Amino acid sequence: MAIILGIESSCDETSASVCIDGKVINNEIANQTIHEQYGGVVPELASREHQRNIVPVVEHVLSHADINVNDLDGIAYTRGPGLLGALLIGSSFSKAMAASLGIPLIPIHHMKAHVLAHFIDDPKPSYPFICLTVSGGHTQILRINNPTEMIILGQTQDDAVGEAFDKAAKLLGLPYPGGPMIDKLAMSGNPNRFQFAESEMPELDYSFSGIKTSILYFLRKELKKNEQFIKENLNDLAASIQKTLLSMLMKKLILAASQEKIKQIAIAGGVSANSGLRQQLNEEALKRGWEVFIPDFQYCTDNAGMIAISGHLLFEQDAFGSLADSPLPRMPF
């Protein structure tokens, strides 16, 4: 039985959440819109925004949960991976607060937290299960044996799939982050209109850097013939790009499930908000007898709810950190 405050600040969302006895009470997210005009996250601006947001966001979740700071039993925060300056704000704030309250710190791995977000709401998966984690920085197929034992079965050797969505969107002239825009446009597009080559990788690994180049060359060729090509075919382009990326993701996921003989399949990370991916997963579930776990939208992209629930699970195992823990932008898995 514990009350945990969770804090997430690895990229461009400042988020806090309170978890009481394993139940995530609230999840407040301050999104930073300042980066849109630059077509990507500007690290220094992200740090300054975190600094501005963190106190009001934490105050808000505590008062909303009707919790006094003295009721807290521990503070969980994202130690990495992420942007160093952004991580520093969350970790310094958490350390100062934990030290002044005399309560333990629980450092959290951001990507593992994406997976553990499945323990916020019912139905929850039972161990072992497979999780496809798909975000702006990672693409991994994991076998989850318990909250601390996660085995990488396969992963991208270059770009993450979220990055591929974002770079493709940029080529189409869409604002950052492009993934949600492609998803929306694809809903009313023809996915079979254009063909893009899928990269082949051995075993359960992925490669997403080639697709961006093939989209670039294709667009250059078409734009020479018709300057309005992108504008006139935007929905079909988005649908065709999304189809290619999802097909690559699903093939390896199906292979992993059959190799591991596991039928409990989860998805996590920002790209798990993608409606096409959710639909394909449900279709495969019917075909293959899988039980699939798809997080609520608010727990797909970066949020502190997943940090708070991870803090709860690790608190039970006394997995505490110390004031000497520095943020790890490239935190090993």
Contact set with ligand KG4 (CB under 6 A)? 11, 135-137, 162, 165-166, 177-180, 183, 269-271, 273-274, 301-302
Stretch that binds Zn ion, among 62-70, 128-136, 166-174, 314-322 (CB under 5 A): 128-136
Q: How far is the CB of 135 from Zn ion (least distance, A)?
A: 4
State which residue, 207 or 259, has the beta carbon closest to ligand KG4. Answer: 207
Q: Which of ligand KG4, Zn ion, none does residue 178 bind (CB under 5 to 8 Å by kind)?
A: ligand KG4
State which residue, 147 or 179, has the beta carbon closest to ligand KG4. Answer: 179
User: 26 forms bridges with which residues in the sheet?
Assistant: 18
| Residue 249: Cβ-neighbour burial (10 angstroms; 0-12, 13-18, 19+) | buried
If one asks whether residue 78 binds Zn ion (CB under 5 A), the answer comes out as no
Q: How far is the CB of 149 from ligand KG4 (least distance, A)?
A: 22
If one asks whether residue 12 binds Zn ion (CB under 5 A), the answer comes out as no
If one asks whether residue 302 binds Zn ion (CB under 5 A), the answer comes out as yes
Parallel/antiparallel/unpaired status of strands 139-146 and 149-155: antiparallel
3-class SS of residue 35 = helix
If one asks whether residue 135 binds Zn ion (CB under 5 A), the answer comes out as yes
Q: How far is the CB of 180 from ligand KG4 (least distance, A)?
A: 4
CB 81 within 8 A of CB 111: yes
State which residue, 95 or 138, has the beta carbon closest to ligand KG4. Answer: 138
Q: Which of Zn ion, ligand KG4, none does residue 179 bind (CB under 5 to 8 Å by kind)?
A: ligand KG4
How far, rounded to the nearest angstrom, does the alpha carbon of residue 236 sit from its chain's CA centroid? 26
Per-residue b or e along 304-327, where b marks 16 or more CB atoms closer than 10 Å to that residue's CB: bbbbbbbbbbbbeeebebeeeeeb
Please identify the residue of the shown chain whose CB is closest to the bound ligand KG4. Answer: 270
Compute the chain's Rg from CA coordinates: 20
CA dist., res. 120 & res. 130, Å (int): 17
Reference 147, options 325, 306, 321; nearest CA is: 306
Q: Which of Zn ion, ligand KG4, none does residue 125 bind (CB under 5 to 8 Å by kind)?
A: none
Interface residue list for Zn ion (CB under 5 A): 135, 302
